[in-house]
Amino acid sequence: MTDHRPSYHIWTVGCQMNKADSARLGAELEGRGYIPAPSPEEADIVVLNSCVVRQSAENRVLSKLSSLKALRRSRPQALIALTGCMVDGNLAELERRFPHVDSFFRPQDFYPFLSHVQPSGEAPVVSTTELKVCEFVPIISGCDKYCTYCIVPYRRGRERSRRLEEVVCEVERLAARGVREVTLLGQNVDSYGHDLPGRPDLAALLDALNGVAGLARIRFLTSHPKDMTDRLIQAVGTLDKVCEHVNLPFQAGDDDILRRMGRRYTVVQYRDLVARIREAVPGVCLSTDVIVGFPGETEEQFLRTVSILEEARFVTVHVAAYSPRPGTAAARLSDSVPTSEKKYRLQIVETLQEGIVAEI
Ligand code: SAM
Ligand code: SF4
């Protein structure tokens, strides 16, 4: 028998936060009686969860948006929505550029969007997410750091932490359903709690979650070096369920570039932090993010990034060529490193990292 329930399709590009938002949106729609559809053409609700952190991601979203024009013509009754970091405050401009999209909502306006979705009238489906063993749990949204190259603070707003008790309750519920591993998410996950009464920190949250029955592993992403405290390092070293893994983006290995990126730490401070983590957490796996070709980055400055990579020996390096983002402070600087040079620097980092990983 064919299932005539209404269906949804979510297309996602970008970071873990976007993937987690999409998973939550899917679970909410399933709670309203919708079933997942394998393609936009078969769905009643189509949501694009976008990323504009780099031009390459934005291009993918634009191409997907353009492909939905045919769907608009063939299925005028389908609801097409756009969310994620492409949605800024200027809805009129988005409506003008993409008239075939019915609804635009910022990631932080998830629930107002859902309030416009008609419940299907059918019983909720058994969510596929309930069967998962690993789950992402966002604990802090937004970003207050305003690194000069980054669009995220303009699109995701100020940092907002979820209450500690609320996160613990959610993880308890997940563990009771068979989830064994949770990854706590935030653009700056280690600044968790500074905006809450009593200012609980990530170390306190990890400590509370370490006691959740049935849960085996806890991870967290992404840490800003400036917010990584000794308390947090101790928590990673001592709490048995917390995985010995820290993603600690350094972005650039030169103080002048770091200052112009607005990163708020120096190379010496970063190296010292890595040493303290390695000492307190034996066998720790460190990963990082790096940008090559920031405006004005000389060959010499780039080689300082290479030195840190050689020295710290990360298990994973997410490397990207600098991409100017309109509206950010760095976009006012001349994008002076030629594309060919950015590609060359990318390749050097990738080749070096492949060698390090092979050795590890
Ligand atoms: N909050 C984290 C941090 O402080 O590093 C990372 C979040 S950011 C959305 C993810 C990564 O995208 C960054 O670490 C950076 O390497 C990269 N990124 C952000 N803006 C970029 C840009 N304009 N060009 C190239 N890479 C960029
Ligand atoms: Fe972007 Fe910097 Fe915030 Fe990370 S800390 S999300 S790179 S502004």
| DSSP conformational letter for 251 | B
Determine which residue's CA is closest to atom 5 belonging to ligand 2. 145
Is 221 a pocket residue for ligand 1 (Cβ < 6 Å)?
Answer: no
Cα 54 to ligand 1 centroid, rounded to whole Å: 8
Q: Does the pLDDT value for residue 126 go beyond 90?
A: no
Cα 61 to ligand 2 centroid, rounded to whole Å: 21
Mutation probe of ligand 2 site: the residue of 143, 154, 248 with most atoms within 8 A of C-beta: 143
More confident residue, 2 or 240: 240
pLDDT band at 320 (very low <50, low <70, confident <90, very high): very high
Residue 107: predicted pLDDT:
86
CA-143 nearest atom, ligand 1 = 1
Residue 318: predicted pLDDT:
97
Residue 187 contacts residue 17 (beta carbons within 8 Å): yes
pLDDT band at 127 (very low <50, low <70, confident <90, very high): low
CA-152 nearest atom, ligand 1 = 9
The least confident of 26-35, 182-191, 226-235 is: 26-35
Is 289 a pocket residue for ligand 1 (Cβ < 6 Å)?
Answer: yes
Is 342 a pocket residue for ligand 1 (Cβ < 6 Å)?
Answer: no
Residue 296 contacts residue 260 (beta carbons within 8 Å): yes
pLDDT band at 360 (very low <50, low <70, confident <90, very high): confident
The least confident of 18-32, 88-102, 107-121, 215-229 is: 107-121
Average of per-residue pLDDT values in the chain: 94
Is 143 a pocket residue for ligand 2 (Cβ < 6 Å)?
Answer: yes
More confident residue, 264 or 115: 264
CA-53 nearest atom, ligand 2 = 1
Mutation probe of ligand 1 site: the residue of 15, 19, 53, 346 with most atoms within 8 A of C-beta: 53
Q: Does the pLDDT value for residue 130 go beyond 60?
A: no
Mutation probe of ligand 2 site: the residue of 140, 151, 152, 185 with most atoms within 8 A of C-beta: 152
d(CA 58, CA 49): 11
Determine which residue's CA is closest to atom 2 belonging to ligand 1. 187
Cα 153 to ligand 1 centroid, rounded to whole Å: 11
Q: Does the pLDDT value for residue 128 go beyond 70?
A: no
Q: Does the pLDDT value for residue 2 go beyond 70?
A: no
Q: Does the pLDDT value for residue 250 go beyond 60?
A: yes
Q: Does the pLDDT value for residue 140 go beyond 60?
A: yes
Residue 123: predicted pLDDT:
73
Which residue has 């290995």 as its token pair? 253
pLDDT band at 3 (very low <50, low <70, confident <90, very high): low
Q: Helix, strand, or coil here: 289?
A: strand
Residue 111: predicted pLDDT:
85
CA-330 nearest atom, ligand 1 = 23
Determine which residue's CA is closest to atom 12 belonging to ligand 1. 53
d(CA 84, CA 12): 9
Q: Does the pLDDT value for residue 1 go beyond 80?
A: no
First to last CA, the chain: 53
DSSP letters, 332-354, are: GS---S-HHHHHHHHHHHHHHHH
**How large is the average pLDDT for residues 259-286?**
97
Q: What is the pLDDT of residues 38-95, one digit of tens each?
A: 999 999 999 999 999 999 999 999 999 999 999 999 999 999 999 999 999 889 999 9
Residue 62: predicted pLDDT:
97
**How large is the average pLDDT for residues 139-144?**
96
Which ligand has an atom closest to residue 54 CA?
1
Of the candidates 218, 229, 238, the residue with the CA atom closest to the CA atom of residue 171: 218
For residue 338 the two structure tokens come to 């030629």
